[in-house]
């Protein structure tokens, strides 16, 4: 699981850099996006060491712990005040359900980017863990839901209304796929949406779906239409 998180971190940093470049950001902003990607999940290592789990619900918020870890280990020493503050802010809030109400333009810019890059790689992890069978060897990857079974009505209804889907409502792997489709509707940058299309993530999701229902496929169709406008 530590190796999985290490590989996730490297991919997220690369995707953060690619998205920033795709949006024609300056070289300094691209490098900062890369740094945020490298730091965003630093808490996963002390979290797993202490609790033997990556479940924030059962342990600690890994965004908050990441902020604390970066400061306690002095890992950002030598950086100027502004980029240091932006990294700390992005790490702390990258995993929150909603963006903070008060944000500077640069805070929002980098926070939205790391949320996009993180989610794009979570899409990959979900697909790859099912395709490879890893999800059955490491139950934590399933985040406590049943592998089989149709999506629940409450999750589908939340998706249709464009609401945030709560983890507590996830009962099956199909629910988790609907959750991740809802994340695609929350992607902030056109470059992020293009990555989803270029990597055929929707098609890959459909290939490994344990269950397919008409309402669930309608969620895929709505997501495909949303991504096509980028």
Q: Identify the CATH number of the domain in which residue 48 sits.
A: 1.10.3210.10
The mean pLDDT value for 126-133 works out to 86
Task: Tell whether 80 is covered by a domain.
Answer: yes
Res 143: pLDDT:
64
Q: How many other CB atoms are there within 10 angstroms of residue 21's CB atom?
A: 15
| 158 & 105 share domain | no
In 3D space, the residue among 58, 45, 38, 60 whose CA is nearest the CA of residue 3 turns out to be: 45
Q: How many other CB atoms are there within 10 angstroms of residue 4's CB atom?
A: 17
**What is the number of domains present in the chain?**
2
Residue 136, pLDDT above cutoff 90: no
For residues 74 and 224, give the distance between their C-alpha atoms in angstroms, rounded to a whole number.
Answer: 43
pLDDT digits (tens, 9 = 90+) for 106-118: 999 999 999 999 9
Task: Tell whether 139 is covered by a domain.
Answer: no
Q: How many other CB atoms are there within 10 angstroms of residue 28's CB atom?
A: 9
Residue 144, pLDDT above cutoff 70: no
pLDDT bucket at 139, cuts 50 / 70 / 90: low
Res 162: pLDDT:
92
* Angle, CA of 107, 111 and 115, to the nearest 5°: 175
| 173 & 70 share domain | no
| 3 & 105 share domain | yes
Domain limits for position 186: 145-230
HEC letters along 158-175: HHHCCCCCCHHHCCEHHH
DSSP 7: H
pLDDT digits (tens, 9 = 90+) for 19-57: 999 999 999 999 999 999 999 999 999 999 999 888 888
Residue 195, pLDDT above cutoff 70: yes
| 76 & 175 share domain | no
């Amino acid at each position: 699981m530590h190796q999985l998180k290490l590989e996730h971190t490297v991919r997220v940093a690369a995707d953060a850099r690619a998205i920033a470049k795709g949006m024609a950001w300056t070289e300094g902003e691209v490098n900062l996006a890369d740094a945020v990607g490298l730091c965003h999940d630093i808490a996963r290592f002390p979290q797993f060491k202490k609790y033997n789990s990556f479940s924030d619900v059962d342990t600690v918020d890994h965004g908050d712990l990441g902020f604390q870890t970066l400061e306690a280990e002095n890992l950002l020493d030598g950086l100027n005040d502004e980029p240091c503050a932006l990294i700390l802010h992005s790490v702390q809030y990258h995993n929150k359900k909603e963006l903070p109400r008060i944000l500077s333009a640069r805070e929002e810019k980098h926070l939205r980017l790391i949320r996009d890059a993180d989610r794009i790689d979570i899409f990959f992890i979900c697909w790859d863990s099912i395709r490879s069978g890893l999800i059955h060897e490491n139950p934590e990857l399933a985040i406590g839901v049943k592998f089989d079974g149709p999506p629940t009505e409450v999750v589908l209804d939340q998706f249709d209304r464009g609401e945030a889907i709560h983890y507590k409502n996830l009962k099956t792997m199909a629910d988790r796929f609907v959750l991740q489709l809802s994340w695609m509707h929350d992607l902030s940058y056109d470059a992020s949406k293009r990555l989803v299309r270029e990597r055929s993530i929707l098609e890959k999701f459909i290939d490994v779906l344990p269950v397919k229902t008409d309402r669930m496929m309608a969620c895929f169709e709505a997501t495909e239409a949303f991504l096509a406008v980028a």
